[in-house]
Structure 1
């Protein structure tokens, strides 16, 4: 894991104006991952889009943590189904 791809959790809290408890709750529910290096906690750049999405859902629609977990689960399922659909369409294209 490249340290350049990591963003300090404290910096994210300041930039997005959220409490660390919210970031930690997302980590505990498995929505984002936190990496700890030398007593500093970081969030990988790949999880930033998911983090931003959860913040918007939480703020704009007032969705609680349990709701965010459900939404995240459903979004993952949709991505998997879309991936399967693409794979099957590609296989079908071979036979046409």
Structure 2
């Protein structure tokens, strides 16, 4: 993990106008990962898309943290099923 790919959590809160507690809650629930270097907390740029998605769901649809956790879990299952489907189609293609 390169330090250039890390964004300070405080900067994210300022730019997205979101409370620090919300970002911490997403970290505690496992939706995003916060990296602590010395006294500063950072979010890896790979987690920004998840953070933005969860922020939109929370603010626009008023979904609470437990709902966000459930949605995140279900989206993960969908991605896994899609990967499995592609893998099985590829295997089936070998026999056709």
Question: For 2:3 and 2:91, how far apart are their aligned partners in 1?
Answer: 39
Counterpart check, 1:31 vs 2:31: yes
Structure 2 alignment gaps of length 5 or more: none
| Number of equivalences | 96
Question: For 2:6 and 2:95, how far apart are their aligned partners in 1?
Answer: 44
2:55 match: 55
CA RMSD in angstroms, aligned pairs only? 0.5
Structure 1 alignment gaps of length 5 or more: none
* 1:11-68 CA-partner distances (Å, limit 9, x unpaired): 0000100010000000000000000011110001111100000000001100000000
Question: For 2:95 and 2:47, how far apart are their aligned partners in 1?
Answer: 38
Question: For 2:31 and 2:50, how far apart are their aligned partners in 1?
Answer: 7
TM-score (normalised: structure 2) = 0.98
Kindly report which structure 2 residues correspond to 1:36-47, keeping only aligned pairs within 5 A, or say none. 36-47=36-47
Question: For 1:19 and 1:62, how far apart are their aligned partners in 2?
Answer: 15
